Amino acid sequence: MQKLLVEGGHLLNGKVRISGAKNSAVALLPASILADSKVIIEGLPDISDVDTLGHLLEEIGGTVEKRGQTLHIDPSQMTAMPLPNGRVKKLRASYYFMGAMLGRFKEAVIGLPGGCYLGPRPIDQHIKGFEALGAKVTNEQGAIYLRADELTGARIYLDVVSVGATINIMLAAVKAKGKTIIENAAREPEIIDVATLLTSMGAKIKGAGTDVIRIEGVQELTGCMHTIIPDRIEAGTYTIMAAAQGEKVLIDNVIPQHLEPLLAKLREMGVQIEEGEEQLLVHRGGPLKSVDIKTLVHPGFPTDLQQPFTALLTKATGTSVVTDTIYQARFKHIDELRRMNAQIKVEGGSAIVTGPVPLEGAKVKASDLRAGASLIVAGLMAKGITEITGLEHIDRGYSQIAEKLSNLGAHIWREDMTEKEITQLQNL
């Protein structure tokens, strides 16, 4: 087991290249199940979630070959192998095996998904969609059993705007008989990316990226080649890091429109950002001003950037209020930031940040992926060394984070934990 050490106070300079989008990748890999020949996905991020999903595809009989950032997936020999336990529980996105396996085999058994604990994360809307398409869904001993004699297109209104449910229903519906309409669909760029892959495979999908998606079922889907979109959350995280501790940082391989709510808030704080076609240049400006943020469904401020942004706010002058309307309990990073001298209190579903305060290095624990990113942002600004455990969460979603930050001039490195440290961590 390893920990991450950050010696704060060093200015960041230079260029960082953003990897492929994690939240696309975790849907694109399961989507390959629906094809009857080889699917090639290019530009995948080097993260443990992609490795886990690759292994899961092999568990059900697929052949998966990794060549650099490209995965060659041959789904032709896959079967409806039940996946009630094991790797499937490591990440939440394994729920996409439900939609994809249901779509191809009309049956699936998938252990209830794990992933970051951000408060309750129900999947009732996914189930509602599968049932509307004709599947019988039961929950037995922690696994979801799905079975259908036939899948038939349906009109499905999502009661909650959900990325996962929108994608999962698309996966189940592309080979269903007739027309499916998903109303109140989520509009994230990752949904468009999945729809693009499915369309290249032969699916008929209209409206991805809007709140009404129309799917005309087809009988057959074939292999294809697809290049993944850049990770807007990784790009946003580095933009925040540049605002926190950068002198002049170029964020490369980014779609600036995907980051509009973040860029608007950073500019409101006084950060200077120049936008190119696929690049952002973040300059060191004067003192930062406090701002309030409220996370919303896309295209609102993304909940996944709330935690790293909160760390930045400790540097701003004044009081900032952070409200997460998507995951009201996504505040596990706050106690850790407090250990580093941040002045933040959580009151009625909002975090109130008072700044500026000089952060101090401390021993902290990443409780989830974006909490980890938040602690790195804080560590870059802090005086002294910050020691971050819970690295397995960070490695699930940030490709080569220590290397990328070292290249920008940060002092950041991994160390093996001693037996004593591991025991202490497990007893916390």
Chain residues in the site for ligand EPU (CB under 6 A): 23, 26, 92-93, 116, 121-126, 160, 162-165, 186, 233, 303-304, 326-327, 369-370, 397
Residue with Cβ nearer ligand EPU (124 or 183) = 124
Q: Answer yes or no: is 189 a known binding residue.
A: no
Residue with Cβ nearer ligand EPU (6 or 305) = 305
Q: Answer yes or no: is 121 a known binding residue.
A: yes
Q: Which residue is nearest to ligand EPU (CB)?
A: 164
DSSP string, 203-265: -EEE-BTBSEEEEE--S-----EEEPPB-HHHHHHHHHHHHHHEEEEEEES--GGGGHHHHHH
State the nearest-atom distance from the C-beta of 248 to ligand EPU, in Å: 28
Q: Which helix (H) or strand (E) holds 70?
A: strand 70-74
Q: Rounded CA gap, 397 and 22, in Å?
A: 6
Q: Answer yes or no: is 293 a known binding residue.
A: no
Q: Rounded CA gap, 394 and 19, in Å?
A: 14
Q: Rounded CA gap, 331 and 336, in Å?
A: 10
State the nearest-atom distance from the C-beta of 235 to ligand EPU, in Å: 13
Q: Which of 31, 44, 83, 116 is catalytic?
A: 116
Told to judge if 116 belongs to the known catalytic residues of this protein, a careful annotator would answer yes
Spatial contact of 101 and 33, defined as CB atoms under 8 Å apart: yes
Q: At what angle do helices 332-339 and 369-381 cross, to 10 degrees?
A: 20
420 CB-side CA count, 13 A: 0
Q: Answer yes or no: is 147 a known binding residue.
A: no
Q: Answer yes or no: is 427 a known binding residue.
A: no
Residue with Cβ nearer ligand EPU (33 or 163) = 163
Residue 193 sits at φ, ψ, to 5 deg, of -60, -45
135-141 — which CB contacts under 8 Å span 24+ positions?
135/102, 135/106, 135/172, 139/112, 141/84
Spatial contact of 229 and 255, defined as CB atoms under 8 Å apart: yes
Q: Answer yes or no: is 120 a known binding residue.
A: no
Residue with Cβ nearer ligand EPU (92 or 214) = 92
Residue with Cβ nearer ligand EPU (146 or 163) = 163
Q: Answer yes or no: is 123 a known binding residue.
A: yes
List the one residue out of 407, 336, 370 whose CA is nearest residue 10.
407
**b (16+ CB within 10 A) / e for 143-170:** bbbbbbeebbbbebebeebbbbbbbbbb
Q: Rounded CA gap, 354 and 107, in Å?
A: 52
Residue with Cβ nearer ligand EPU (137 or 362) = 137
Q: Which residues are annotated as catalytic?
A: 116
Binding residues for phosphoenolpyruvate, as ranges, are 22-23
Binding residues for UDP-N-acetyl-alpha-D-glucosamine, as ranges, are 92, 121-125, 304, 326
Binding residues, as ranges, are 22-23, 92, 121-125, 304, 326
